[in-house]
Structure 1
């Protein structure tokens, strides 16, 4: 309570300082990732940082400073994932003209002239109502289409008057690659590549959070150790690679981290260690498996097959639930509820059978106004950061 009062006092004091029209601050849960990362990299690519000061609040400022030391006007300040912040972070929050964030709002709520831009981290079909800050704390909310914006504002309980249909910056990487991803992919590639991106079942920080109405011994019930061996042999016979990348919020105590000849399991830390961009890797895949993670909404842009692993569908529906009344109608792909269903999906990828393309395109057009890799530039142009 005392810390909260001190924080409010400091924010009010720092708000007396002039707003810096040449300062941009980013946030992505104390890391450099997601839509904020993509927009930041585009800023560096276009040289916008030669005219603007860029501020990143992160868990490890020194490590980030070393990684981006060749770029001018880029600074990193301390902000831990637990919520504690440095004085510099609070100061920049109050004085930056442009605040771009994906997980936690930046800026001072009542600061006139400040742009507080919620880039978001996906289009929800999961019911996340009650998990966000009031919509009036954002001056702008980025979305991908009118219907996607409707879903986002439904979770917020408002905000439709500040929605900007510009596309998500991270989706640009579905259409391009980078050196780190290219080198990693060359090491692992097979004749076909399927990427599996499950949503988290048990949170690694919010241990009391329960999105499902029941707990199981494994958070991906279909992937028992015994079945993983059989699945690997099946994939090996067809020269297919399956890469399972767990959600950054997943409690890793409840999933398998074992890799095989044709099954690789990865965490966020391992991706970063190998300098791999997840969305660039997704762009290289031949198909996606997920459950109800919003990542498949993004993947619609590349128009490749999607399999939906729904072993926990009823448990989730009876737990947190969905923001749409008929969630299965928003899943244009194979419904995987058993090992046999998974084998069928793999067979179809191997044989080039794609029964759901028409449904995917229909949903893609509903969820995306733009089908390209130019969202970052649209965002920068909208806020007049580039011409």
Structure 2
């Protein structure tokens, strides 16, 4: 359905929502891109803390059928169409992918957890999207004062709506899970995780600056050094064919992670280094204080077409700049040898990016959201 038509459909629901009675014991979760990321992390935390013993949970997701038959006590999984009525009844709601374009009533708390602090432009900062209303929440989470004005501009919200809590998904990186970490590492001395950003085009190979032939060469080098490269394919990325299997390069999909009850943050925790491009995930990984390599082969084109929130994105990319296959080899070699050339720069920038580095983001969201709106 056309987005403009969809917004017209939801507009009367904002009025109806104002007059709909709210259930103070109902917590609502929403995602239109799978049950993952910040909304799943928030849900998991509340389940661990047994909030579902005092509240009813309704989880509205596009893949609800994967969860509905094994739901915990007082938890119901529904599709996103059915979820509308529960959203309008809920006192509390959380989302990070998509949303219902329904304004919260004065009796509701709707938290936009989003899915990462931005390097690339999002929302109203994107060209052609300046006039679209993205403010359908009472609160939006941030990681530091650096991002507050960026979020305000991107979502056309005010300063009071932005809360510095850290992102719930990052708490996973601070948990101890040697069994899961061992399953990721599988005896490798070094593990490098590669997280390419989504590109709106079909690709022959999921990583930039690396061809299938070069991957064969790289696999032999990794084998000799007992190092492993894990490539997490973006959930939306389309590939033109089947991926070859390598002994020391592993390609992982979101579906595989879900089946293993793992997340990207399980992989990040176990990784010794990260390769990415313009994905916000590297802001998260900085909290672990490990080397980062940035593929920047198309940065000028990306800046022209999508744009960045900072005038000079390089000022906020504390790591190796990778433009070709040789740079990939050099970065991996440095990781294997323990050479961390950008440690000082990374640590200084992390102080601006992540106000908290403690794995307690979910706890802060609960404290600020539940207590503040009940005071």
Answer whether TM exceeds 0.5 for this pair.
yes
- Whole-Å separation in 2 of the counterparts to 1:342 and 1:360: 19
Distance in 2 (alpha carbons) for counterparts of 1:7 and 1:356: 48
SS at 1:146's partner residue? coil
Q: Which moved more, 1:283-292 or 1:218-227?
A: 218-227
How far residue 197 of structure 1 moved from its aligned partner, in angstroms, is 0.4
SS at match of 2:67: helix
Q: 1:182 to 1:41 in 2, by over 3 A?
A: same
Task: Note if 1:159 corresponds to 2:158.
Answer: yes
Q: Residues 326-383 of structure 1, C-alpha deviation per residue, up to 9 Å, x if partnerless?
A: 1011111111111111111111111111111111111110011111100001111112
SS at match of 1:138: coil
Match of 2:139 in 1: 140
Aligned residue pairs, count: 365
SS in 1 for 2:106: coil
Shift of 1:17: 3.2
- Secondary structure of the corresponding residue to residue 304 of structure 1: coil
* 1:58 matched to 2:61: yes
Displacement of 1:203 after TM fit? 6.1
Structure 2 unmatched ranges of 5 or more:
none
Secondary structure of the equivalent of 2:366? helix
User: Which residue pairs with 2:331 in the alignment?
Assistant: 345
Secondary structure of 2:332's counterpart equals helix
- Relative distance call for 1:317 and 1:108 in structure 2 (3 A) is closer
Alignment correspondent of 2:107: 113
Q: Deviations over 1:202-224 (max 9, x none)?
A: 268xxxxxxxxxxx865634221
Alpha-carbon contact 1:145-1:165 (below 8 Å) kept? yes
Structure 1 gaps, min length 5: 80-84, 205-215
Quote the offset at 1:246 in angstroms. Answer: 1.3
Higher mean alpha-carbon deviation, 217-226 vs 239-248, is at 217-226
| SS of structure 2 residue aligned to 1:354 | coil
Q: 1:234 aligns with which of 196, 221, 231?
A: 221
Contact 1:105 1:116 in 2 (8 A): no
Deviation digits for residues 53-97 of structure 1 (CA, Å, limit 9, x no counterpart): 1111122433212333xx211111112xxxxx12xx111111101
Matched, 1:94 2:81: no
State the alpha-carbon separation in 1 of the partners of residues 293 and 26 from structure 2. 43
| Aligned counterpart in structure 1 of residue 207 of structure 2, from 206, 220, 226 | 220
Q: Where does residue 19 of structure 1 map in the other structure?
A: 22
Aligned counterpart, 1:383: 369
**Cα-Cα RMSD:** 2.6
